[in-house]
Chains A and B, each alone.
Chain A
Amino acid sequence: MPNILVFAETRGSALRKVAFEAISAARALVDANGGGQVHALCAVPSGGAALAGQLGQHGADVVVTVEHPGFANFAREAVAATLAARAQGGGYRAVLLGFSAQGRDLAPRVAAKLDAPIATDVTEIRIAVDAVVVKHPVYANKVIATLQLDGPLVVLSTRPGSFAAVEAPRTATVESAAPASDPSGEKVVVKEMQEGGKGKIDLGEAPVIVAGGRGLKAPENFKLVEDLAAAFGNAAVGATRAVTDEGWRPHSDQIGQTGRQVSPQLYVAVGISGAIQHLAGMRSSKTIVAINKDKEAPIFKVADYGIVGDVMEVVPALTQAVREAKAHS
């Protein structure tokens, strides 16, 4: 079994979770196919060697460090060129990246440079003799496609969370390499990075939304919803049409047919009965939690988890529990 080259994604000089996931995926692949080496390439402004320990812990045999001050920001062209140059060097069956913001951007570039078949956002990988077979969710996860990639070298990106980062400790050999193109001569230059968390998270982007309805009874009780959102940390606050009509919240917070249509990872509906107007805007959320005092409320029909009860009692308790859970993770 030939080797697999993995892009060890970093932000600043810290490795990201997707890097470990991709290395673990690669480790499992080479192990299942008669052995081979996992090579991890990281592009950092400095201190690349310091990452070798962590990467080796997860199964990297070789760590290629590429250092250049220009990597302080996302130098997409140089990273792609460097990955492609390393892959071109031979001996690789696949290049693996995480399907993160960086990986989404880099994988097609690498594939185009290598003229290699590519599959992104994969959840399973099998390597057969002359082909690589992957599973890739399509149609917004409503269908799972099994794709076959024909070619001696393929580019794959792994869906975050689909491959567990498991430890397979070894001591990685550290190699250093030069960038294949100058990171300071990029066609696209990062002008500014704006840290999240300071401003309000947009409803369209928030992974978690806590939304309140008329069941909150009074505008001041929206504090409960805000507190719960704050406990999640990455949550935005939404509202039903009834609430925005009453002027308890601005119209821009409205979720539903006439407001925003959202599909976060987690949607917490607080005191929302679930009128058609509202459901049309949030039904496609991945996980829906409903808290309502009326157990006949239509929201429970779409909710994955429901609690029947007084929002004034349940929500503060949930806020506390989420805070504790977050503190321990």
Chain B
Amino acid sequence: MTTSNVVFLLIVTAGAGFFALNVQRLVRYLRIGLAENRTNEPGVRVKNVLSIGIAQSKIFRDHIAGPMHAAIFWGFIVLTAGTVEILIQGVFSDFSYDAILPEPVYRFYAFSQDGFALLVLGAIGFALYRRLVLHPRRLEGDKLEHTDALIILSLIGGLMLTLLLTNAYAYLAGSTLVGPEKFASRLTAQMLGRSVTSPGYWAGVFWWGHVVILLIFLNYLPYSKHLHVITSLINVFFSNTSGPGQKGVMRPMDLEADVEQFGASDVDHLTWKNLLDGYSCTECGRCTAACPANITGKPLSPRKIVINTRQRLMEKAPLATGDRMEFIHPRLVHGEGGATGAETASQVLGERLLDNYITEEELWACTSCRACVQECPVSIDQLDIINQMRRYLVLSESRFPEEIQPAFESLERNGSPWAFSPADRGRWAEGMDIPTMAEAMERGQRPDILFWVGCMGSFDDRAKKITVAFARILKACGINFAILGQEEHCHGDPARRMGNEYLYQMLAKDTIGTLDRYDVKTIVTSCPHCFHQIGNEFPDFGGNYEVIHHSTFIERLLEQNLVPLQGEDGKRLTVAYHDSCYLGRYNDIYDAPRATLKRALPVVDIVEPKRSRDRGLCCGAGGGRMWMEERQGKRINVERTEELLATGADTIAVACPFCMTMISDGVKAAESDVPVLDIAEVVAGQLVS
């Protein structure tokens, strides 16, 4: 063993050791969060890692940054093999894969190394160009963030350059290992010219340079947002945002638990996974760029929520864990609008994530549309943090926009977020000969299907027309169905989305009691919020039913030719369909409503707005925003309606009564007369009279 080998071993051990210390510290920080099991269904988790992580499926949603990032990421994976080779060479100077691999395999390996090194260099160049010249809006971080990004890009670039230069000089020094497959290395050598003196020496220098940059890179990561290099795959594995489980399902709370507070006001009330999200965020800003609140000028930025969580963790965790390694505390982890300047321990402990970093206004601006979650390339769940914090505001401090109190009170007293008498719930059905469950049972009948009407469908005059249209379709198809009538009341979803888990559980459990009393098996509903809540969130409370949204149900009926439609094709319509968040991003139903329109109107043209399907922009009503004032910025429904009108469509179709209200208002605000119709109304309009 030469001196060089010994020195190498020492440096590597020191570098790796310091890195290990930091990893241990970061893991310990995570432990101040609440425990949560995230190891169920490992199959799904591995699949997510392969598709979202390795195959970069979400990264590619951005057609410009996507390929760039994928090139760097895949390059990193491929070049890791080369890194291992280099590390082994540090100990056994003469080592090469050449010695252990069959010739063709080695040649392919050698080619891949050079190929990807070049690819990564190209991507780095483009990335620098974007950052320094193009300045995309979503990358507008603070100065520290910018410096951080430049440091990382330089380090990666440095790694690639030293790799190529090492090989090039080795080639010039006559190494037989740099064959024609290492085309980039040879090209570099050519550019250097044959006249370099002592190429062997320079090969050594760049080899050392490569090793040193590698170790710097490794140890810089824990201080940088680029920690995601290490944590993102782990985060994707533990994330639930793309399954396992249904998307967007809120976690049940144990309300009987003897806890000092309900919900989260600081990092130690979030789960370890929420905190790991903080480690995984690269601040790419895709979430914020897709956020309807942010787009329209509200104070909410999902990226900020995650960054603030990390900032606060880095501030509080060292104290909470008794971490004495002051010298390695990450000063470089910068923030977004939340640096509180807390210096002493008592200052730090006197502050919290809520108020000091994240304001109430930000939390209430969220429409729970899941666009941020959908966009995140590393499966961060921004919405979960928001939901936990809303729960704290309502359950522990009773702090919320005052206008939602009537909604809470009415849910409690009238079983509907609007103060309408429960006795009027079934009024829309008068004269339609639709039995209630109670009436059907009394007659000894067993309806196959329960039509869950929902509060909007029962009380809102416009939505009642959707209800009637859907009921007419059901009757025309001879479906044996019933409604609950007076016995239906809100399942509590609005309360849950607004943080009032207590009220939600009361209503949900009561609803499950009613449904089970009638032994309900199958439910159809024209409201995506009811659909999501009863179908996806009730199972946590023992309510298991097959719930079908009316778009899917009508499409099936049409497919089976069960709907008596008028013969002629009707008027040629150009329809822009607006995706409901709770139908789309929560339940992946994008095709059924469109297919329903096409089947019912054979001559329809369906046009897509700028943002559609899983990129669709929220109407602005979700997350309880229906019951809140929109005091800042542009109105979300106006923004969305403008997009829909810009398609030039002569009709706008929706599949949600809340979207109906918001988009109809948007159309009025735009002083347009384009009709807004629910898909059920479109189909009902084609029924044989």
Interface check B207, CB cutoff 8 A: no
Q: CA separation between A298 and B461, bound complex, in Å? A: 6
Contact B406 A276 (CB under 8 A): no
- What is the bound-complex CA distance between A261 and B404, given in angstroms? 13
Query: How many Å lie between the Cα of A151 and that of B627 in the bound state?
Result: 52
Q: Find chain B residues with CB under 8 A from A245 CB.
A: 629-630, 635
Interface residues of B in 10-38 (CB under 8 A from A): none
| Given contacts A258-B403, A258-B627, A280-B419, A242 and B668 within 8 Å (CB-CB) | yes
In the complex, A83→B627 CA distance in Å? Answer: 51
Q: Are A257 and B462 in contact (CB under 8 A)?
A: no
Q: Kindly state the interface size class of chain B when it binds its partner.
A: 20 to 34
With A214-B668, A276-B418, A280-B418: A257-B403 Cβ-Cβ less than 8 Å: yes
* Contact in complex: A258, B628 (CB < 8 Å): yes
* B661 sits at the interface (CB 8 A): yes
0 or 1 for each of A238-267: is its CB under 8 Å from B? (1 = yes) = 000110011000010000011101000000
Residue of B nearest to A298 (CB): B461
A261 to B463, CA, bound (A): 22
Number of interface residues of A (CB under 8 A): 17
Residues of B413-464 whose CB lies within 8 A of A? 417-420, 456, 459-463
Name A276's contact: one of B403, B460, B635, B669 (CB within 8 Å): B460
Return chain A residues, CB-CB under 8 Å to B669: 214, 242, 246
In angstroms, Cα B661 to Cα A176, docked, is 67
Q: Determine the chain B residues whose CB is within 8 A of the CB of A259 once the complex forms.
A: 403
Asked whether any CB of chain B lies closer than 8 Å to the CB of A325, the reply is no
A275 CA / B627 CA spacing, docked (Å): 13
Shortest distance between the CB of B526 and any CB in chain A (Å):
16
Distance between Cα atoms of A275 and B658 in the complex (Å): 12
Q: Which residue of B lies closest to A302 (CB)?
A: B461
Are A276 and B629 in contact, with the CB atoms below 8 A?
Answer: no
B-chain residues with CB within 8 Å of residue A241 when the two chains form the complex? 629
Q: Are B420 and A280 in contact (CB under 8 A)?
A: yes
Check: B665 CB closer than 8 A to any chain A CB: yes
Distance in Å from the Cβ of B427 to the closest Cβ of chain A? 11
A257 in contact with B661 (CB, 8 Å): no
Question: Quick check: A257 and B406 within 8 Å, CB to CB?
Answer: yes
**0/1 string, A117-135, CB within 8 A of B gives 1:** 0000000000000000000
B663: Cβ under 8 A from any A Cβ:
no
Q: Report yes or no: B661 in contact with A251, Cβ–Cβ below 8 A.
A: no
Given A245-B635, A276-B418, A276-B461: A261 and B668 within 8 A (CB)?
no
CB distance from A310 to the nearest CB of B (A): 16
Quick one: closest B residue to A274, CB to CB?
B461
* A245-B629, A257-B627 given; 15 more Cβ-contact pairs under 8 Å: A214-B668, A214-B669, A257-B403, A257-B407, A257-B417, A257-B418, A258-B629, A261-B406, A261-B419, A275-B462, A276-B418, A276-B459, A276-B460, A277-B418, A280-B419
A–B complex contacts, Cβ < 8 Å, 24 sampled: A241-B629, A242-B668, A245-B630, A245-B635, A246-B669, A251-B629, A251-B631, A257-B403, A257-B406, A257-B417, A257-B418, A258-B404, A261-B406, A261-B419, A275-B460, A275-B462, A276-B418, A276-B456, A276-B461, A276-B463, A276-B661, A298-B461, A298-B462, A301-B461
Q: Which B residues lie at the A interface, using CB under 8 A?
A: 403-404, 406-407, 417-420, 456, 459-463, 627-631, 635, 661, 665, 668-669
